[in-house]
Amino acid sequence: LLWVNLIIDIFIASALTTDLPGPMVLERPPDRKSALLITVCIYKMILEQAIYQLSITLVLYFTGALLLGYKTNKDLLKSLNTLIFNTFVWVQIFNKLNNRRLNNSLNIFKGITKN
């Protein structure tokens, strides 16, 4: 899990340092000094991602062998654990893409080629 965090954080840090602000960000009025750093929209996105990641991971963990037709064999359980881990990695990549937006817009790929 540590290497997943390191890899994902490297991509996020490079994107944040090289991505120029778009016109939507530049034209937005400044926030108040007393405004919260984590807004209600951000709390909502965090909660959505947590529920999404937990549900996918737990469904695969508890019913993955049944869904994929695995018998209770040690090698097949290793394969199931590998599948769960790879699913976790892909969910983190989706989370990285999803967090590029600051508001409730649904287009997560807007401006992705400009970076």
Domain total in the chain: 1
Question: Using 50, 70 and 90 to split pLDDT, how confident is the model at 64?
Answer: confident
| Statement: residue 105 has pLDDT above 80 | no
22 located within any domain = no
> What global pTM score does this model have?
0.66
Range of the domain at 85: 1-11+39-105
Task: Provide, for the chain, the percentages of residues in helix, strand and coil under a 3-state DSSP scheme, each rounded to the nearest 5.
Answer: 70, 0, 30
30 located within any domain = no
20 located within any domain = no
Contact by Cβ (8 Å): 91, 53: yes
pLDDT tens for 74-90 read: 667 788 888 898 998 89
24 located within any domain = no
